[in-house]
C-alpha cells in the first residue's frame, strides 16, 4: 500500500523528473522528436536548447522549490515568502548558479511579475495581467497541495501564489483545481474521483473554461496523442495553461506505469518540460515515489532535498 509519505515525495520528485526528462527536447516539434527518438526519450540525459546537465532543475523545478521553501518556513507568511524566494531565484541567489546571474530560462510573464514585485513589494499587485495565461504558475504550484491542510486556505494560497506572476483568472483557478486534485490523491482518492473534485472546484470558482479543460483531458489518451502528434489542444501544448492542465489530467487518468505516460507526454514536444512536470506531479501523487524509475531519481539535482522536505511535510 502506498503511504502518504510516498505520495508526497512522489509528487515533488514527479515534477522534477518530468521537468528534467522533457528539458532535452523543450521547444522541439513532435516530428523532430519522433525522428530523433523513435521510442521516446527514456532516460534523463540533459542537453536541449539550454544545454542542461542531466537532472539539472530548469525554471519549473526551481520555482517549485521556491514555493516549497516557503511552505517549510513556519515563521513566515507563505505567499510573501514564496514571492521573495522567486525573486532570489530571478536575481541569482540560488544553488548551482553564479551569484547575481539571471536564470537560463524564464517565461515572460514570470519575469514581468517578479520585476513588478521587486518594485512594489506586494505580491497581490505584481502579476503580469489578464490575457497572459501561460503555464508558469501551474508548473510550480504543487507544494501548496502538500503543505496546507485546510481546503479553503489551500485554494486561497494556490490562487494568490499564482497571482504573483500569473494573475489571469485561468491561471489562478487552474492552480486551485490542480492542487485540489493533488490533495485528494495524497489522501488515497482514486484518480477519477480526484479529477471530479478538481472539476467541481473550477465550477465553484466560476471558471467554466478550466472545468472544460479538465473534462477534455478525461477524453484524451496520451499514447494515441504521442503516436499521432495530434494533441487536440488549442495551443498544441506550447505553454497555454489550460493545454497543460488538460494534458496533466489525461496523464493522471492513464492507467499505465508512470514512466510510460511521462515518456509519451514528452514525445508531444513544444513545452515538453513543463507539460511533463505538471503531469509528473499528478502521477507521482497517484503512484508514489517508487513508481519513478530509480535511474531517473538518482540524477535529479534536488532529489535529497525534496525527499527530506516530504518527510517534514508529512511529519
Q: Could you tell me the CATH number of the domain that includes residue 214?
A: 1.10.4080.10
Instruction: Give the residue-averaged pLDDT of 77-96.
Output: 96
Q: What is the average per-residue pLDDT within 124-146?
A: 96
Give pLDDT, residue 93. 96
Q: Which domain holds residue 207?
A: 4-314
- The pLDDT of 56-63, averaged and rounded, is 98
Q: What is the pTM of this model?
A: 0.98
Helix (H) or strand (E) holding 18: helix 4-22
**Average of per-residue pLDDT across 216-225:** 98
Q: How far apart are the first and last CA of the chain?
A: 19
The number of C-alpha atoms within 13 Å of 154 and in the hemisphere containing its C-beta is 23
Residue 76 pLDDT grade (very low, low, confident, very high; cuts 50, 70, 90): confident
Looking at the predicted structure, is the pLDDT value of residue 107 above 90? yes
| pLDDT the model gives residue 165 | 98
Residue 167 clears pLDDT 90, i.e. is over it: yes
Helical spans, DSSP H, in 133-240: 142-147, 151-163, 169-186, 191-204, 208-217, 222-228
User: What pLDDT, on the 0 to 100 scale, is given for residue 96?
Assistant: 86
Mean pLDDT of 162-176: 98
Average pLDDT estimate for 287-298: 98
State yes or no: pLDDT of 239 exceeds 90: yes
Q: DSSP letter at 47? A: B
CB atoms near residue 91 (< 10 Å): 16
Write out the three cell numbers for 308: 527530506
CA-to-CA distance for 280 and 16, rounded, in angstroms? 8
Per-residue pLDDT tens for 6-24?
999 999 999 999 999 999 9
- Is residue 100 pLDDT above 90, yes or no? yes
Question: For the chain, what is the domain count?
Answer: 1
Look at residue 65 and tell me whether its pLDDT is greater than 90: yes
Q: Is the dihedral of CA 58, 127, 141, 312 positive or negative?
A: positive
Ramachandran region, residue 236 (left: φ > 0; alpha: ψ -120 to 50; beta: rest): left
Rounded Cα distance, 88 and 110, in Å: 13
Does 1 score more than 90 pLDDT? no
Which ranges of 187-271 would DSSP assign to H, the alpha helix?
Answer: 191-204, 208-217, 222-228, 241-252, 258-267
249-267 mean pLDDT = 98
Amino acid at each position: 500500500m502506498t503511504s502518504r509519505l510516498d505520495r508526497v515525495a512522489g509528487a515533488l520528485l514527479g515534477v522534477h523528473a518530468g521537468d528534467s526528462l522533457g528539458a532535452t527536447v523543450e521547444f522541439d516539434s513532435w516530428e523532430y522528436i519522433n525522428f530523433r527518438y523513435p521510442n521516446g526519450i527514456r532516460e534523463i540525459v540533459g542537453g536541449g536548447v539550454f544545454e542542461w546537465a542531466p537532472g539539472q532543475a530548469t525554471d519549473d523545478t526551481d520555482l517549485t522549490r521556491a514555493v516549497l521553501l516557503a511552505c517549510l518556513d513556519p515563521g513566515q507568511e507563505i505567499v510573501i515568502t514564496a514571492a521573495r524566494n522567486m525573486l532570489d531565484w530571478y536575481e541569482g541567489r540560488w544553488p548551482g548558479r553564479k551569484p547575481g546571474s539571471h536564470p537560463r530560462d524564464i517565461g515572460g510573464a514570470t519575469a514581468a511579475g517578479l520585476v513588478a514585485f521587486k518594485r512594489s513589494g506586494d505580491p497581490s499587485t505584481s502579476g503580469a495581467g489578464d490575457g497572459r495565461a501561460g503555464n508558469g504558475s501551474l508548473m510550480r504550484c504543487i507544494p501548496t497541495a502538500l503543505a496546507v491542510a485546510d481546503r479553503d486556505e489551500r485554494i486561497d494560497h494556490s490562487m494568490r501564489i499564482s497571482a504573483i506572476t500569473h494573475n489571469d483568472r485561468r491561471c489562478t483557478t487552474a492552480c486551485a483545481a490542480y492542487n485540489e486534485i493533488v490533495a485528494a490523491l495524497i489522501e488515497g482518492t482514486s484518480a477519477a474521483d480526484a479529477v471530479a473534485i478538481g472539476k467541481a472546484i473550477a465550477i465553484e470558482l466560476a471558471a467554466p473554461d478550466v472545468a472544460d479543460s479538465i473534462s477534455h483531458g478525461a477524453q484524451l489518451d496520451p499514447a494515441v496523442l504521442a503516436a499521432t502528434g495530434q494533441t487536440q489542444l488549442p495551443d498544441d501544448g506550447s505553454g497555454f495553461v489550460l493545454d497543460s492542465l488538460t494534458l496533466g489530467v489525461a496523464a493522471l487518468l492513464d492507467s499505465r506505469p508512470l514512466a510510460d505516460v511521462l515518456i509519451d507526454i514528452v514525445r508531444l514536444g513544444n513545452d515538453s518540460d513543463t507539460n511533463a512536470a505538471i503531469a509528473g506531479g499528478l502521477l507521482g501523487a497517484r503512484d508514489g515515489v517508487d513508481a519513478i524509475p530509480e535511474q531517473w531519481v538518482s540524477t535529479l539535482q534536488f532529489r535529497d532535498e525534496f525527499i527530506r522536505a516530504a518527510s517534514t511535510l508529512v511529519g
